[in-house]
Structure 1
C-alpha cells in the first residue's frame, strides 16, 4: 500500500551572501536539535589547529537519522559554508518523515530519500552561490517534496538490482570508482563485526563503518541500500539510533554509518579524514577475515560463493543471511 508523504524542507546555517545565521520558519523543534548537533560537531572540528583547511576541503553530505524502532526519521543535506565575513559554519537543509516500519525503511532509505536529497542539494547550491539569496529564502517556505515512506514500495527495485548485479560486476564498479574492494573479505567482515550485536542485544557500537559506493549515479543508491539491507537485520533486537552519511560527490563516494546515537561523532569523522580513520572501520578489503574463514564451515561456504564472479548478488545475499542470520 502506497504511503506518500509531502514533507517541507527546513534550513539553518550560514551562507556567503548574509552576515549571520539564517533559519527557516518551519519545524523549530527539528532546527533546534540540528543546531545543537552542528554546534557539537564544530566544537570537535575546531579542536584541531588545522581545522580550517580540513573544513574547507570537506565534501557535501546527504544524511539521515533513523531509529530501528523510532518512527520519526530525519533526512537532510549539509555543506561546509561561511557567512559574508568569512566566518565558517555549515549550512543544512532537513525534513522529517513518519515511517510505520522503521527498520524496513532504514534498509531501503537510500532509495526512498534519493529524490529528496537531490532536491535539497540543488536548493543548497543555489543559496550558496547566490549573491542575494532573499528571494530564494522566500521560496523555501513553499517547497514540499513527496517521499514514499512504505519500504515495500522499493522491494521490486531492490529485487531487480540483486538479480541483475553479479559479484564481479559490483566489485568491478567499486574498483573503477577508486575503492580497492575485495567482496570475498568485505561481506564476511560485515557479518562478523555485527554478529555480536545480534547475540548480545547491545544498543550501540562505538565504531562506525565506512562502505564504498560506485561513481555511477544509477547504481550508487541501490548499492547503499544493499549495504543497509545486509546490516539492518542485526539491529532488530535493540533500539538503535543509526546515523547515515553519504558523500554527495561525483567520485570515490562512501557511506558512513554511526551506531552510537551521536551523529556529531559521525559527521566529524566525515569532515575530517584523520578522525574518520580512527572512528570508522573501512571495509574495502579487510584481509583479517581470511584466517577466520579457514576455520569456520559457514564462512568457508560463503567464501566459496564469493569467489565466483558470476554469482548474482541475490544468491550471495541469500548465503550471507543463511550464515549469519540463520534464514
Structure 2
C-alpha cells in the first residue's frame, strides 16, 4: 500500500481555544494534497521517536490545505508540547497519510457527541451531514467554554448544536441525547475515554462509531508464543510471549509502518491471510474483528499457534 509522505509548510498558526492551537498545512510548491473524507487523520513526524496522529478538521473540498488542532497536554508524552512551543507559521513538518478508521457512513439521521479536542474529527462530519440533507444534532462538552475549540465556527449551525461546558452545565446529559434514538440513526462520538465508555453503555454497538485517543482497557489475555509466516518472503518467525508481532518482524529486519504502538492509530494495520487474530486494539469495529481480515500488529496476537500475514 502506497502511503503519501511529504514535508508541508505551516501556512497559518492560530489559537483555537485556551490550550489549543490550529495549524494549516500546505504543500511548499502549492500543489494539491491527497483527498480525504471526514474522520481522517494524518501522522505528524515531529522528530525521532516523536510521531503523533491528528484528525483533519478543515474542509475536504479544499485540496490545497489540511487543518489540524492540537491540545496541549502538560502530562502527555511530549508531542503536544513540541507543537505548542516549537512549531510556528513558516516551519515545515513531515506528514504521512491521510488514513481513516472513523469514516462517516451514509444515514438519514445522526447524533454526534464530542468531548474536548474530540470535536476535531466531528467538525467536518457536521458539514457533510448538512450537505447531504441529513437530520443531525451535536452535543459538545468541555471543561470550560474558553477551552472548547471551534465554538464560534459551530455557531452557524444554530440550535442543532448544544454547547455544554462542565463548569456551567455539569456532566453531559447523554441520556437525553441517546435515549429513544430513531431507527436508522448513527451515533458518532470522540473524546476522552470515560465519555466514550459512557456512550457505549447507552448505545447499541451496531449504531455507534467511536474514535479513541487512548487505548481501551483490555481484559487480561494469555500471551502465549506463536508463529507468524510472512507471505511475501516465506519466512517464519516465532513471536515470544513477551513481545509483539510488530517487535518481532522489525527485529527480523522487516520494514513496517507503525506509530502509536498502543493500538489506537491504525498505522500498522496488516492483512491476515490465514489464522485467527486475537484483537486487542481500539480501532477496528466489531464487524471488522469478526471478519479477521486485518489486525493491528502492535498489540494484537493470535488465537492459536500460527498466523500468515501479508508482509
- TM-score when normalising by structure 2: 0.28
Greater percentage in helix: 1
- TM-score when normalising by structure 1: 0.27
Greater percentage in strand: 2
